[in-house]
Amino acid sequence: MQKEFRITPWEVSGKIDYEKIIKEFGISKIDNKLLERIKKHTGELHLMLRRKIFFANRDLNWLLNEYEKGNKFFIYTGRGPSGPIHLGHLGTWMFTKWLQDKFNVELWFQFTDDEKFLFKNKSFDEIQRWTGENMLDVIALGFNPDKTHFLVDTKHANLIYPEAIKFAKKITLSTVKAAFGFNDSNNIGQVFYTSIQAVPAIIPSVLKRKNIPCLIPLAVDQDPHFRVARDVYPKLGFYKPSIIHGIFLPPLSGISGKMDSGGKGDERAILTTDSPEEVENKIKKYAFSGGQPSIEEHRKKGGNPDVDVSFQYLKMIFEPDDKKLKEIEEDYRSGKMLTSELKTYLIEKINVFLKEHQKRREKAKKEIKKFMFKTRDPLR
C-alpha cells in the first residue's frame, strides 16, 4: 500500500491523514470526556482543545489521575533552532503557556541546537545565532520566568549528556532505523540524538530525586522520539511521560505538510519579525484560498474554509471567539464573505498580535539570562 504522507521529526510531506497517524503511532484521540476532565481543572478549554488542534494524547488520563492525587506534573516542550520562528510554532507555545498558567506548573523548554546542527546543512555558529533569536520569541509569549527553565543541549550538556547515555544504552540501532527511517549513510550524531531529546522529561525528577510526572505538548511529528524512549523511562525508574499531540499549522501554500520557515524561502511562512506590509503581502499573495476564481462564482458557489489557509489560521490561532469563527465559516461557505475580506480580517488580526509580540520580543533581549537554567558545576 502506497503511503500518501510521510512523517518523521525531520520530514513532513503530503496531505496528513490524522486518523491514520493515530492508528499508526498507537496514540489516542482526545475525546469529549477527556476534554471535560481537563475543563474541571482549567475552568475553560483553550481554543486548541475546543477545536481539536491538539487532537491526540498518550497517558493524559494517567497524568490527571496523578494530578488529582496531588502529584503535580511539569511541562516539557522545545524548539529546534534552525531558522526564524513562524506563526505555526507560536500556536503550540501559546497553548503550552495556557497549560502552564492553568495548572500552575513548571515548564522546561529545550533548545535542540545539537539536533539542528546534526540534521541541517548549517554551521554550528548559525545554529547558535538562531538559538538566541528563537529564545526571544518564546520569552515574548509571556512565560513566567520563575517557573520556566531553558535548556540548550550543548550548553547544558553537563546535565543532559550523562542522562542521555543511560537512554542510549537501552536503544539499539535497529530501533532507531525502524522509527526514524535511518540507514548506514546517516551520521553517528543523528543516530544518537534521540537519547538527548528523551532527557528533559526526567531532569526535574533527577534534580529533585523523586519521580515527577511530565506532560509533553508537541506537534505530532515529534512523537517517534518518545515512542522510542517510552519503554526506557520505567527501566531507568521514571514515569513514562504523558504526551498531547497537535496538528500542524499549514504553510501558506496549502494544507499539505507543515509550515516550514527553513530553507525554502520566506514566502512559505509568516515570521514573527515580519512587518505589517510583509504580512499583508504574504497573506494576499501566497495564502492558499478556498474561494472561487471570480467574485461572481464565489457569490454563487461559496468558498471552502476547510482548505482555505487564512480561515485555518483564524481557527488555529487568531480567532478565539467561537461564535465569530462560526459566523466567518458560514459566511465564507455561503459566498457572503469574499476571500479578500477573509484575508483582510486575518491580516488585521495577525498585525495586531505581531505589533505587541515584536515589542515584547525586543524587551526579551534583556531577559534571556533569567530563563536559562543554572546548573551546579559538578567540578566545583
Kindly state whether residue 26 participates in binding a second copy, applying the rule CB under 8 A: no
- Whether the CB-CB separation of 99 and 92 falls below 8 Å is answered with no
The DSSP output letter for 317 is: I
Alpha-carbon span 175 to 194, nearest angstrom? 11
Nearer to a second copy, 32 or 174 (CB): 174
- Which range binds a second copy by CB under 8 A, 77-85, 172-180, 262-270, 333-341? 172-180
152: Cβ contacts below 8 Å, ≥ 6 apart? 110, 111, 113, 131, 372
- Whether the CB-CB separation of 74 and 107 falls below 8 Å is answered with yes
Q: What minimum distance in Å lies between the beta carbon of 114 and a second copy?
A: 5
Nearer to a second copy, 154 or 273 (CB): 154
Nearer to a second copy, 141 or 368 (CB): 368
| Cα distances (angstroms) measured from residue 229 to each of 45, 175, 293 | 30, 10, 49
Kindly state whether residue 172 participates in binding a second copy, applying the rule CB under 8 A: yes
- Binding-site member from 170, 336, 349, 360 for a second copy (CB under 8 A): 170
Kindly state whether residue 174 participates in binding a second copy, applying the rule CB under 8 A: yes
Closest by CA to 180, choosing from 17, 26, 9, 18, is 9
- Which range binds a second copy by CB under 8 A, 35-43, 45-53, 85-93, 371-379? 371-379
Alpha-carbon span 85 to 136, nearest angstrom? 10
Identify the residue whose cell numbers are 548559525: 126
Query: C-alpha 69: how far from its chain's center?
Result: 28
Which residues, 180 to 219, sit near a second copy by CB under 8 A? 182-192, 194-195
Nearer to a second copy, 263 or 320 (CB): 263
Q: How many residues does the chain have?
A: 380
The binding track of 115-154 with respect to a second copy, each residue x by CB under 8 A or -, is --xx-----x----------------------------xx
Q: What minimum distance in Å lies between the beta carbon of 210 and a second copy?
A: 18
Sites of contact with a second copy (CB under 8 A): 114, 117-118, 124, 153-158, 160-162, 164-166, 168-174, 176-177, 182-192, 194-195, 372-375, 377-380
